[in-house]
Amino acid sequence: AQSVTQLGSHVSVSEGALVLLRCNYSSSVPPYLFWYVQYPNQGLQLLLKYTTGATLVKGINGFEAEFKKSETSFHLTKPSAHMSDAAEYFCAVSRGYIPTFGRGTSLIVHP
């Protein structure tokens, strides 16, 4: 069985500050890992993914995440937060064809 833990249901940062959203997973075999973002009144959209190869993956809007097998983590970062980054972020893990999602983290960006 696989599971995803997102630490912190809400993360608040100032505009221009580092964004760090944490995700830890459990999976018996190397998984596919994803971050999705949901802006208000929109559907989830894929931000970035890790399947194989390079462990540091870059996504849209300046976000990136690093797959650390030894820590079973896939934390999402962005060097400098922008007001438009305010949204809900979901980490997901997949070993089959149906992903398992975390509970989501709401990112709040203060001016």
Partner 1 sequence: EAGVTQFPSHSVIEKGQTVTLRCDPISGHDNLYWYRRVMGKEIKFLLHFVKESKQDESGMPNNRFLAERTGGTYSTLKVQPAELEDSGVYFCASSQDWRQGAQGGYTFGSGTRLTVV
List residues near partner 1 by CB under 8 A: 4, 9, 32, 34, 36, 41-46, 49, 51, 90, 92, 94, 96-104
Comparison of 62 and 101: residue with beta carbon closer to partner 1: 101
- Closest approach of partner 1 to the CB of residue 91, in Å: 10
Task: Check if the beta carbon of residue 36 is closer than 8 Å to that of residue 45.
Answer: yes
d(CA 97, CA 77): 26
- Closest approach of partner 1 to the CB of residue 8, in Å: 13
Burial of 22 (0-12, 13-18, 19+ CB in 10 A): middle
- Closest approach of partner 1 to the CB of residue 100, in Å: 8
